[in-house]
Amino acid sequence: MAPQGDQTEFVFLVMTLALRAISPRLLLFFFLLALAHTSHLQVKRDYDLYERYYMNGNIRCLRCDPGRFVQKQCIVQDTESICEPCDAGHTYSEHLTGLDYCLPCTVCRTDEEELSACSITKNTKCQCKKGTFCPPGNSCEICQKCTASCPPNEVIQTPCNSTSDVQCASPETASYALVAILVPVIILAVVCFLYFYCKKKCGGNGSRWLPKQILTVSLKCDESPAEDPEAPFLPQGTNLRFKDNIPENERNEIANKTFNIFVDLIPAKGFERFMRELGLTDNEIDWAKEDNTGLYSKHYAMLSKLHQNGNFDVNIWLNKLHSIKMRKVAQDIAAKLIRDGLFES
């Protein structure tokens, strides 16, 4: 058996040859994919730890597990709420939750087929039926028909599927495209293998063999520009408002309960972007992070800071969620605010 040192030298030799053969930009792209995957796993563990609690007024309660909802809130600090399971096939909760209800399962449209049924921890997954498609990221009101055939002198490069129409190209281009797809897949497999091999065999983070330029690149996944909506989320003339003759101290209590609902329903990965869109500065966001422990408390502090700055307007907040493509979140929050009697339309 060859000594361990010889095995390591062989790996580095193969790795060096691969690095010289691969375009730096292509290598950067594949490395970032692998790095994003490992970072996601670490963030997920932290997220589970911080999101164990929610606020019931001034009392911090443990959240219910996925597939359940809060039937009765805790009354002693840091204790469990009384949780009940969602109604299988009708409602679900995908994450740890402090809500007193489960979310309704999606019902597939007539032009869609059910990919996976709704369970108490997962919503229904739907896709367009065969022969139709809806591009990912688009909110299609109806699935579009696939193109029947390619123009003259062109062939099908990729067939129609539930998320993409037929892609046509000249015969030469189609052959090149097939090679262009297979080669990156093979390279990605090699790069990932080398990365995790070095992580296991060489110690450290598995990146000592990677160029410094790659290691200094930051992943910024939440900086896609927001698009202005064509129309406000709330129809004109139906803004949410406080009930009449509510005292100032009760308004503050309603604001606190409103903060809890926003923190509960807005995905953690998009929360800071939402804050910046509402005018909270980076310094104010950093202050909330440094002065509070737990992701829930940090997000709650950011909303409180907006309130202190005089920027608490539930209608502006809901419309802002709509403008940054969180329409479903805005709908759930608005429904919860009205159902709990905090606001009326």
Q: Per-residue pLDDT averaged across 86-106, rounded?
A: 92
Q: How far apart are CA 80 and CA 96, in angstroms?
A: 12
Q: Per-residue pLDDT averaged across 333-339, rounded?
A: 89
Cα-based distances in Å from 146 to 110, 171, 222, 280: 17, 21, 32, 45
pTM equals 0.41
* CATH architecture observed for domain 248-339: Orthogonal Bundle (1.10)
Q: How far apart are CA 296 and CA 38, in angstroms?
A: 23
Domain boundaries, the chain: 4-49+170-215, 248-339
Q: How far apart are CA 317 and CA 280, in angstroms?
A: 12
Average pLDDT score over the chain: 77
pLDDT band at 204 (very low <50, low <70, confident <90, very high): very low
pLDDT at 71: 94
pLDDT at 15: 60
Q: Is pLDDT at 260 greater than 80 in this prediction?
A: yes
pLDDT in tens, 271-319: 999 999 998 888 888 888 888 888 888 898 899 888 888 888 888 899 8
Q: How far apart are CA 322 and CA 338, in angstroms?
A: 18
pLDDT at 86: 96
